[in-house]
Amino acid sequence: MKRLSMLFTSLVVLLYAGIAGAQQYPIMEQVAQKVIQKYQNSSCEELAQQRAHPPMGQKAQVEQRVVQLLRDDPQMREAFIDRVAAPIANKLFECGMIP
């Protein structure tokens, strides 16, 4: 749950900034790319710290709205997860955060 929280926190920040891209879900595509870059460029220590401190306040509220958006649109959710799952799982595996 904390891993998803960290992932969606990144998603929220990027959506809040209004990033746009191409394809069927242009914003989602750009957000997914930024999330992937964030994981690839973060150290294991940074990821562990972010995981230990979930977002609060306005950031958490925006995150909840994004999660609801993904729940409401199964096709967008599937596209997002398909895009980010492997790079994030690989990084978490390298960091010893998943078996």
What are the distances in angstroms from CA 2 to CA 12, 14, 23, 97? Answer: 15, 19, 29, 11
- Is 51 domain-assigned? yes
Domains held by the chain: number: 1
CA-to-CA distance for 7 and 11, rounded, in angstroms? 6
Question: Which residue range forms the structural domain that includes residue 14?
Answer: 2-94
Say if 84 falls within a structural domain: yes
pLDDT at 16: 45
The amino acid that residue 7 corresponds to is L
Map residue 44 onto helix, strand or coil.
helix
Q: What is the pLDDT along the chain (99 residues), one digit of tens a residue?
A: 566 566 566 655 555 433 333 468 888 888 789 889 989 999 999 999 988 887 678 877 877 877 788 899 999 999 989 999 999 999 999 999 998
pLDDT of residue 89: 96
Q: Give the span between the Cα atoms of 53 and 51, in whole angstroms.
A: 6
Residue 26, in any domain of the structure: yes
Q: Is residue 99 part of a domain?
A: no
7 lies in some domain: yes
Domain annotation covers residue 33: yes
CA distance linking residue 57 with residue 44, whole number of Å:
25
